Amino acid sequence: MKRVLVYAYLAGNLGDDLLVTILCRRYPKVEFHMLAEERYKQRFAALSNAVIHTPGDALVQEKGQWMEKHRHQKANGFLMWMASQCYATVHIGGSVFVQHQDDFSAAYQTDADLCRYSKRLYVVGANFGPYTDPDYYRRYHALFARYRGICFRDQPSYDKFQDLPRVRWAPDVAFAYRPADPLPSSEKTVVISVLDLEHRGGKYSICQHQAGYEANLAALGDLLVEQGYKVVLVSFCEMQGDETAARRIQGAMKQDSSPQVKILAYQDDLQPVLDAFAKADRVVATRFHSIVLGWLYDKPVLPIVYDLKCTQLLEDNQQDYLTLEQWSQAQPKQLLGQLLERPGFDSKELREQAQEQFAFTDRALNSRLGLFG
């Protein structure tokens, strides 16, 4: 089996875990290695070709020390050693090239080291930006010229690098997931993907919208219950506070609504969340991949945009949306009307186009495809 290093954001976020799962299932004859916390041995237990290395493993510590001593590689020693041992490295994820701080040298150095040590380096499913320093773009443009293949997930990112020979774009990797047939349900249900804004400060702060955002989600939830819907508040990432925000929203709803409202938090198993989207009649989407999953299951989706990546996804597909500010200032009955009036979505074309995310890796890994589904 070919060995491939997976470089991804592995911190219990449903979107990223879904992308890695799709990658591993696509190439069943490839052995994928990744560095993650112990819990990922449970999370990815169903992936027979996924090898999880944890920070406490003897091999991780030994090779990290060896890289520091012999290669003067003080940061990410094991990852760089593993990159040098594997046939290829796949950097998979969404917002992986964002300038989070004025001094971006540490993040850039990690990407540069990965390029240096990898025999073949591919990017799957990323967007580029936002960024504020022109040097951020210039340095990555020079670095990307050394990659074996990059597939962005939005047109604006592609446009910035289209002069490079091994760059393309296709819809988000999650559209390559092949959903099962819709599950039958006798209940009317609305899935609401929530995001914790409380700790979203920093360079692109959105925490000032927290109160209005949560108040209108609670008010909309009450109106939906009055209309005969069950409401499912979905948390995509416990570590980033989604579940805490869901509990605040549930607590702000009327007591009479409680029996019709539940919180569904992603922990170790993707399937319950995927099933919730499959059974839903409508989706209120804040998380990027909640928009994607709503569309994947051809649901009417009302998006609340908190980040440029969401704006680009929606504008690439000519879909309208509400910004956090617009959502926070709207009347709840207005929001209910917008949700109930939205049409369903036909994802067939996006699902076909998303297979192109793997155009470079399909050629490199040369494995019989086994699509996730």
- d(CA 277, CA 288) in angstroms, rounded, equals 14
- Give the 3-state secondary structure of residue 66: helix
What pLDDT does residue 205 have? 84
- d(CA 294, CA 254) in angstroms, rounded, equals 27
Q: Within 10 A of 142 (CB to CB), how many other CB atoms are there?
A: 11
- d(CA 362, CA 47) in angstroms, rounded, equals 19
230, β-bridge pairs = 189
Stretch (H or E) spanning 278: helix 271-279
Residues of the chain below pLDDT 50: 369-373
What pLDDT does residue 182 have? 65
Confidence (pTM): 0.95
Q: Would the CATH topology of 2-169 be identical to that of 189-347?
A: yes
- d(CA 309, CA 129) in angstroms, rounded, equals 8
Q: Which CATH superfamily is domain 189-347 in?
A: Glycogen Phosphorylase B; (3.40.50.2000)
Please name the amino acid found at residue 21.
T
Place of tokens 């209309």: 227
Strands (E) across the chain are located at 2-7, 30-35, 50-53, 88-92, 121-126, 149-152, 167-169, 189-193, 230-235, 261-265, 282-285, 301-305, 322-323
Residues in Cβ contact with 135 at an 8 Å cutoff, skipping those fewer than 6 apart: none
Q: Please check whether residue 83 is in contact with residue 120, taking contact to mean a CB–CB distance below 8 angstroms.
A: no
Nearest to 215 by CA among 251, 184, 164, 187: 251
139, β-bridge pairs = none
- Calculate the CA dihedral of residues 130, 133, 134, 135 and round it to 10 degrees: -120
| DSSP class of 97 | B
- Alpha-carbon dihedral sign for residues 102, 107, 109, 115: negative
What pLDDT does residue 201 have? 80
The string of pLDDT tens digits covering residues 199-235 is 888 778 899 999 999 999 999 999 999 999 999 999 9
List the chain domain ranges: 2-169, 189-347
Please name the amino acid found at residue 216.
N
What pLDDT does residue 200 have? 85
Tokens of residue 328, six digits: 């926070």
Q: Which CATH superfamily is domain 2-169 in?
A: NAD(P)-binding Rossmann-like Domain (3.40.50.720)
